[in-house]
Amino acid sequence: MRTELDIDLLGQTVQDLYRLKQGEVMSAILHLGDRLGLFMALAESGPITSVDLAAATGLHERWVREWLFAVGSANLAFHEDGLFALTPEASAALVDPDHPAAMSGVFGPPITHREIERTVEAFETGIGMTWDAHGEHTCHFQAAMGAAGQQTWLVPVMIDSIEGMTERLTRGITVVDVGCGAGVAATAVAMTYPASTVIGIDPSGHGIESALERASDDGLDNLSFRTGTFDDLGALAPIDLLLTLDVMHDLPHPGAAVRAAHAALADDGVWFVADIKTRGGLEDNRKIPVLPLMYGMSILYCMSSAMSEPDGAGLGTMGLTEEVFGELAAAAGFGSVASRYFDIDPMNRYFEVRR
């Protein structure tokens, strides 16, 4: 390890730090664009001046103009002869909710002072925040992180890859999505397979409230949601298809959750688990292009949740390796754990688990 200051690397380090600050600030700017309808209006209008965009949205022109300069400087919008237009790529990611790359909801309200103070306290006491404690806005942000993929690929690609599962779902089986959040995945399954009974459970009151609104809007008779955790799976047994999507690393006691899943799964059932494609420690994960985001998310959300109870395991965003999950599954009595990978989801690893 170096101990002497390299003046060239110092300049690069300062620039990198400002880029990190830039990301924090621009996240808020993107949230404003989504919340104020600016992205939608810009996409619908085609090339437009700041004056006309302000008139179309009912907003103050000077503020709209500066916002346009900000998104233009981030290469999200073209600017030529006083006219602005979203790039096709930005339009797909920030405007079209049905596009596989949709991510406008990811840029939710910035982290609050209350959350920062609570995280400072967690460093001192060891006890973190549950996802629910962050509030309803974080619930929507959490759902948006995986919504595009769950709506687009979960049913026709991931679940369809499980041998015989599509036929069973078509005939009608019991599906439980534990840790369902706002209910995106459960809704996608229920819409595709009306003969199957789909139940979503989650400890977050904010998540279940959002899921119930979604179910009401879609009018699906085979879909229901309720507050609950892995501890409540026994009442729903036997479960033919158990889904756990980006949840395991958030749990304070993952071993107990795996045991509960084993007890509730039907003899011929499948537990389908998605989690971050982590390789273990810092150096093992260097190839992940957004690694600082992953560890930052862990401190503020995932590990915080996994440390929200005394003696929490604290796996965090990057903690559920193949080895860790395999050991948990074997200890609970599962006989088969197969790791699955899909090119369309570069962030997650999937486990197909059977009794």
Q: Which residues pair with 339 in a beta bridge?
A: 351
> What would the pLDDT profile of 96-108 be if each residue is shown by its tens digit?
988 888 888 888 8
State the Cα–Cα distance between residues 315 and 276, nearest whole angstrom. Answer: 11
What is the arithmetic mean of pLDDT over 237-263?
A: 98
Check residue 144 and give its pLDDT: 76
Q: In degrees rounded to 5, what are phi and psi of residue 77?
A: -140, 145
185 CB-side CA count, 13 A: 32
Angle between the 61-73 and 7-35 helix axes, to the nearest 10 degrees? 130
May I ask the CATH architecture of the domain 7-106? Orthogonal Bundle (1.10)
What is the arithmetic mean of pLDDT over 27-44?
A: 95
For Cα atoms 310, 138, 345, give the angle at the middle one, nearest 5 degrees.
Answer: 95
Check residue 262 and give its pLDDT: 98
Domain 113-354: which topology? Rossmann fold (3.40.50)
The structure tokens listed for 115 are 């959350």
Check residue 70 and give its pLDDT: 96
Check residue 327 and give its pLDDT: 97
Percent of the chain with pLDDT over 90: 84
Query: Domain boundaries in the chain?
Result: 7-106, 113-354
Q: Round the average pLDDT of the chain to a whole number and report it.
A: 94
pLDDT band at 248 (very low <50, low <70, confident <90, very high): very high
> What would the pLDDT profile of 110-157 be if each residue is shown by its tens digit?
888 999 999 999 999 999 999 889 887 777 777 777 788 888 899 999
For residue 355, pLDDT over 80 is answered with yes
* CA dihedral angle for residue 343, residue 345, residue 346, residue 350, rounded to 10 degrees: -90
Check residue 242 and give its pLDDT: 98
